[in-house]
Amino acid sequence: MLEIIQQYWQALLWSDGYNITGLAMTLWILILSVLMGGILSLGLAVGRNSQNKLIKLPIWLFTYIFRGTPLYVQLLIIYTGIYTLSVVKNHAWLGDFFQSGLNCTVLAFTLNTCAYTTEVFAGAMRNVPRGEMQAATALGFSRFQLYRYIILPRAFRIALPAYSNEVIFMLHSTALAFTVTVPDVMKIARDIYAETYQPFHAFGIAAVIYLCVSFTLIFGFKKLEQRCLAFQKVNE
């Protein structure tokens, strides 16, 4: 195993000498997907709790589809299916975009995590104490101020444990990226296996890398939860 690490450590961690690979690629996919999915989910979560069915039902349908189908299927449809559509193939920019495995991976992961995060945040918003919202309304807060200063901060603290699980899940899901030729940790591990015929060592190293990143994320979210709890106690 030490020989494999000495020979392939650079490709496993950040580069094969030409392109970003391994852990750097995995983290890049994770950060982009979680960041864009999280931003989109905030607006969708507000709409998910809307009383207007024309707003609420399309968002429900979106989350239902992406939470009800396997991520791998979604990735294959976006990577191999959408490019076959004539409107995409005949459009230069769309054609180039959907020919890229990395673009399709980030898009699929963003939509998937956005669907889950929307439901997490929407549920958290429904659990914000009504007394806090009524007090803010009595003080003259506008609807925008109500969401900015009361609902969203409180909902984030409520949703944090579930959201941290979603981020960990997305980290594990990045292992699917190799199926569309993205050179992530799993792709490098498969290349090592193909060259050395030592599957236990190749995939064992990949497992240790994922485990280390998972531990770091769990530790970070735990500290964030503690800070949020301490902040809440101070305010109370």
pLDDT single digits (tens) 98-129: 999 999 999 999 999 999 999 999 999 999 98
The SS3 call for residue 158 is helix
Residue pointed to by tokens 């939509």? 111
CB neighbours (10 Å) of residue 80? Answer: 12
Query: How far is it, in rounded angstroms, from Cα 72 to Cα 41?
Result: 21
- pLDDT at res. 91: 85
Q: In terms of CATH architecture, what is 2-235?
A: Orthogonal Bundle (1.10)
Using the 8-state DSSP alphabet, how is residue 181 labeled? Answer: T
Cα separation values, 187 from 117, 166, 202, Å = 27, 23, 10
Q: Render each residue's pLDDT in the chain as its tens digit; 236 residues.
A: 788 888 989 999 989 878 899 999 999 999 999 999 999 999 999 999 999 999 999 999 999 999 999 999 999 999 999 988 988 888 888 989 999 999 999 999 999 999 999 999 999 999 998 888 888 888 888 888 898 888 998 899 999 999 999 999 999 999 999 999 999 999 999 999 999 999 999 999 999 999 999 999 999 999 998 888 776 665 55
Which residue, 99, 118, 11, is CA-closest to 58?
118
Please name the residues in contact with 185: beta carbons below 8 A apart, sequence gap of 6 or more: 12, 22, 23, 25, 26, 174, 175, 206, 209, 210
| pTM assigned to the model | 0.92
Which residue, 19, 43, 51, 25, is CA-closest to 109?
25
Distance from the first to the final alpha carbon of the chain: 54
